[in-house]
Amino acid sequence: MSTPVNPKLFDPASFDPANFDATTYGPWAVVVGGSEGVGAEIAFLLADAGVSSVLVARKPGPLEETAEAVRSRGVECRTVSVDLTEAGSTEAIATATEGLEVGLVILNAGANTYGAPVADSDMAEVRKVMDLNITSPMEIIRHFAPQLRDRGRGGIVVMGSMAGYLGHADMSAYSAAKAFSRVFVEGLWLEMREHGVDVCEVILGVTRTPAMIRAGLDMDIPGMNVSEPVDVARETLGTIDRGPVHVCGGEQNLKQIEWSSGIDRGRIVASAAKRMKALRGDN
Ligand SMILES: NC(=O)c1ccc[n+]([C@@H]2O[C@H](COP(=O)([O-])OP(=O)(O)OC[C@H]3O[C@@H](n4cnc5c(N)ncnc54)[C@H](OP(=O)(O)O)[C@@H]3O)[C@@H](O)[C@H]2O)c1
């Protein structure tokens, strides 16, 4: 007897760009945080599916390099070099995409940029975490939502985190911002599905992105479930219509989320922190 497959799971290897619905989600996609890691892999897969991209990130060099690699796959690619935590970034994206038929908006940029106990925190740095994960995605969604709604098809995808399911010491602003994002997306999903537009918050576990590598995060801890950016990209594009929330990275991440969502918050938050310390070998 074969084991039943959990419908909440998605095998990244099963995603084939040839079967991607470029009519619904193309001809253009906007990939915010598209210069590297998961965002760049998404743009490559979209190119293989025949969808052109507008890539948004800060550093012009990597942005242009990724754009050139996207173009070499036979589609168009534009770039917008902006810092999403600065005023005017949404307007710059709006200007660069004027006149384009955008079928898909991916909000990928959002890794944590600041860690400190709340009592010692620098509010300017905390504000950047909130701007990157809350204000900027909301503004960008507000810009593209009317055209997607009026078009009656397309998608909006926001990258979330398992960290958004429970509080974390020294990064409470980041985990709370990711919780905000998920609940915001759930409401947006309800609104947009009435108009045929798919909305999904894709929950990532630990993923071997360039940002994590640069941050020096030890991802080779036994027992830690680490995903590769290309697999997350495949799973993201394969589950756009499985909103409001899809958990990436297989059964281990799914079980972790179920456990993290329990009622006994003190026990859950404290034992998650203890387990993370043990995984890292801290005392
Ligand atoms: N990697 C993980 O283990 C992990 C785990 C859970 C959730 N996630 C989520 O997955 C998403 C991607 O994470 P990531 O690890 O790849 O790191 P990331 O720094 O959020 O994403 C990288 C992309 O975003 C751009 N970016 C970052 N900050 C920006 C800013 N202020 N303005 C404009 N562009 C910006 C980067 O280019 P520039 O640096 O040139 O701007 C790059 O293209 C995030 O939302 C993160 O919260 C990741």
Tens digit of each residue's pLDDT (9 = 90 or more) over 150-175? 999 999 999 999 999 999 999 999 99
Token pair belonging to 185? 């997306």
The residues, any chain, with a CB within 8 Å of residue 219's CB and separated by 6 or more, are 206, 208, 212, 226
Q: Model-level pTM?
A: 0.97
pLDDT band at 214 (very low <50, low <70, confident <90, very high): very high
Distance (Å) from CA 112 to ligand 1 centroid: 8
Q: What pLDDT, on the 0 to 100 scale, is given for residue 133?
A: 98
Over residues 225-234, the mean pLDDT reads 97
Residues belonging to the chain: 283
**Distance separating alpha carbons of residues 114 and 47, to the nearest angstrom:** 33
Nearest CA to ligand 1 atom 25: 33
* Residue 95: other Cβ atoms inside 10 A: 10
Instruction: Please state, for a pLDDT cut of 90, what percent of the chain lies above it.
Output: 91
One DSSP character per residue, 160-197 reads EEGGGGS--TT-HHHHHHHHHHHHHHHHHHHHHHTTTE
pLDDT band at 217 (very low <50, low <70, confident <90, very high): confident
Atom of ligand 1 nearest to the CA of 132: 31
Atom of ligand 1 nearest to the CA of 232: 10
* Residue 76: other Cβ atoms inside 10 A: 15
| Ligand 1, CB cutoff 6 Å, lining residues | 33-39, 57-59, 62, 83-85, 108-111, 132, 159, 161, 204, 206-207, 209, 211-212
Over residues 82-108, the mean pLDDT reads 98
**Distance separating alpha carbons of residues 89 and 83, to the nearest angstrom:** 6
Of 207, 225, 227, 236, the residue with max ligand 1 atoms within 8 A of its CB, to mutate for a pocket test, comes to: 207
**Host H or E run for residue 268:** helix 265-280
Q: What pLDDT, on the 0 to 100 scale, is given for residue 3?
A: 60
What residues pair up with 28 in beta bridges, in sequence order? 52, 102
pLDDT in tens, 39-78: 999 999 999 999 999 999 999 999 999 999 999 999 999 9
Q: What pLDDT, on the 0 to 100 scale, is given for residue 49?
A: 98
- The three-state secondary structure class of 32 is strand
pLDDT in tens, 4-49: 667 799 999 999 999 999 999 999 999 999 999 999 999 999 999 9
Nearest CA to ligand 1 atom 39: 58
pLDDT band at 277 (very low <50, low <70, confident <90, very high): confident
Over residues 171-180, the mean pLDDT reads 98
**Host H or E run for residue 67:** helix 60-71
